[in-house]
Chain A
Amino acid sequence: MEDYKILDLFWSRNEQAITESKNKYGTLICSIAFNILRNRQDTEECENDTYIGAWNTIPPTRPQKLSAYLAKLSRNIAITKFRANNTKKRGGGEVAASLHELDECIPDQSQDKALAAEQLSSILNEFLASLSQNERQIFMRRYWKCDAIGGIAKHLGCSSSKVKMTLLRTREKLRKFLEQEGIFYDK
């Protein structure tokens, strides 16, 4: 079923919207959640929460792209669950690894307590728009989708070292970008 029809179902409060979303985007939602959670049961819960999230927000929202909207919901729900799962046990895996890599770019809490996620997100949008498509793809796959470096390399048909080098350069760009936005420490 085409996206606009699924959205029409959401808008007319027809529960078939969830079935159709599941049929069309179930695998996408699960793949994103599983990438982060690495646990089948948690992934299924995350999938269901994603549909509930969509049901509760559409309408009034009418997403430009249903796929991206559901993907975003799924990712955010999975991250929340990941945090909950890791309050007792520090988790490893690609999420922790990918976020650790970005530590160097992000200001310390002590240096800018006022920096809100929303503000940082807005800067990230600008930053992402400034990247080449290739750089952006690699960055997003690693830091949004939490893909493994090897997986990114395989998908793009290049070596892992090239992906690593691109990530290194992009992180450096991000650091500089944040600095120019005035939210990084003085050298």
Chain B
Amino acid sequence: MINNTLLQDAMGMIDEEFIEEIIENSARPSKKLTWQRIAAVAACLCLTVSIATLTSIFFRGNTPSNTSDPDFSINIDQYIWSTESTDNMSVEIAVDDWYAAWNGWSITSELYQTLENTDDQALLAIIVETKSNGNNMMKFKYNGTTYEEIIIEQSKLEQKYNKLIEFYKVGEWLKYGEALYTTGIPDGERWSKQLYDSEVAYYGQEMLDRYIVNGELLSDKIMQDAEETQQQIEAQEQLLKDCLAAYHKQNSIDAEEVFVKTGVTHCLKNDSLYLFVSKQELEDIKILNKSKYILGLARKRVFEVDADELPVELDHNISGFDLEKMHLYYDGKTIQPTSDSQVITTIENIIMLDQYAYDHLEIHVDSTFSLTDPKNQLNFLKYDTIYHYKLNKSQIISIHINIKYENIDMQALQRLSNMEEITYIHIGSTLTPIPG
């Protein structure tokens, strides 16, 4: 029980990113955002997936005047949209059978509840997701390489990297060769022959010959190779993201071909298929293989955002940021910029990546107590909300500021960074980690 207690406590303290991962992976209805984020990353990095052609909206209505008319528009405010937060899971985490059944469709519980509580004329904005088919997905080709091949290659690289890192430590013993189990080594370490043989077999003669020369471990060479491998892994991860985005896009295009035949008003935007239907129309849709799809209420913000357009134009001519204070949180990493232009482009990247979910930038600031009235003294930031909290022990005022995208002013941020009272600035999308 002592061991269990220790383990329970340790497991209770692990990083929240791992907890978040299982929550997100458990919540299938929230996968939409993942796709959107993938698409956004691809767009941001100007990689191979061109989504420009997909950002145009093509509606095909169920009345003759609307059919195939790209100028057709509807008042999207009349429709019922999802009220769920974009990057959070559905609350049904414990339910194994995720989707409700309705007229042969698999639908999210939010849509199910909406259908239960509305009349036949209710107008619904629906997003269509194609259920993952493991086999199809594995065989999906992106730039001549299948998804499966990318995963295998990535796995091999990760194994290689892990082995290198392990060898960096274990090599310090293995460099002594057989002495490790015969006489023991100078620091007193002595292995059994069985352990020695198993370690040599695990790392392989090639690795031993490459990194142990004349009884010396070439640590620098190991680290150099590990860094190169890490770069290859990152490139592979990007390839995997692009491949997934392309797979999703293809599924949406395929789904559109099916739904276009039904005559319902629909739209392909940002690589996703949307239906604009009344409850009655949804009930009347007849297609083969309904079970292939999952329907859910669409998120209005995700629909409205254009994947390759920034919602605000930032002034790139601003200079003179106090770079020492600036910390920018982008795509899971905190970046300390080394130039003014990096501040601005990183903020653009943050917005680009997160605009599906949020309409504002979140800034966390530490200041000294000499900033007596943050609300007024920082109103030049044109913030949406501001909260501050005094950390008496450390003589710091912790300030939390939200600024709507359209109100972001780089000149104001530069001014903020140069205020003497301000000691630390952390900028990201919502819910960025708080320093310290």
Binding site for B on A (CB under 8 A): 1-4, 7-8, 11-12, 24-28, 30-32, 34-35, 59-69, 71-72, 75-76, 79, 83, 96, 99-100, 102-103, 106-109, 115, 117-118, 120-121, 124-125, 128, 130, 132-133, 136-137, 140-141, 143-145, 151, 154-155, 157, 180, 187
Contacts and interface: CB of A to CB of B under 8 A. Distances in A.
A59 B162 CA distance: 38
A180 B85 contact: no
Interface in B1-41: 2-23, 25-26
27 contacts: A2-B430, A4-B358, A4-B362, A4-B402, A7-B431, A12-B387, A24-B85, A28-B94, A31-B93, A35-B94, A60-B389, A64-B16, A64-B20, A68-B20, A71-B19, A83-B8, A96-B4, A106-B6, A107-B3, A120-B6, A128-B14, A132-B158, A140-B18, A143-B11, A144-B18, A154-B96, A187-B192
Return the 6 tightest CB-CB contacts between A and B, nearest first.
A31-B94, A117-B9, A121-B13, A120-B10, A27-B91, A68-B16
Given A11-B387, A61-B434, A118-B10, 9 more contacts: A11-B400, A28-B94, A59-B389, A59-B398, A83-B8, A103-B3, A140-B18, A144-B18, A187-B194
Given A72-B16, A121-B14, A137-B22, A67 B4 contact: no
- The size class of the interface chain B forms with chain A is 35 or more
Contacts of B94: 27-28, 30-31, 34-35
Contacts of A157: 134
B12 A63 contact: no
B306 to A, nearest CB: 21
B89 interface: yes
A153 to B, nearest CB: 10
Contact of A144 (B17, B19, B91, B430): B19
Given A3-B430, A99-B4, A155 B96 contact: yes
B21 A79 contact: no
Given A24-B85, A132-B158, A144 B14 contact: yes
Contact of A3 (B88, B192, B387, B398): B88
Contacts of A143: 7, 11
Interface of B: 2-23, 25-26, 85, 88-89, 91-94, 96, 134, 155, 158, 162, 166, 169-170, 191-192, 194-195, 358, 360, 362, 364, 385, 387, 389, 391, 398, 400, 402, 430-434
Given A59-B398, A60-B398, A117 B22 contact: no
Nearest to B158: A132
Provide the main secondary structure of the chain A interface: helix
A30 B89 CA distance: 15
Nearest to B5: A83
B233 to A, nearest CB: 12
A27 B23 CA distance: 12
Nearest to B192: A187
B21 A125 contact: no
Contacts of A27: 91-94
B431 A79 contact: no
A136 B19 contact: no
A155 B93 CA distance: 11
B23 A67 contact: yes
A65 B16 contact: yes
A130 B389 contact: no
Contacts of A151: 96
B7 A102 contact: yes
Nearest to A26: B91
B8 A79 contact: yes
A137 B203 CA distance: 27
Contacts of A145: 22
A62 B17 CA distance: 14
B166 A99 contact: no
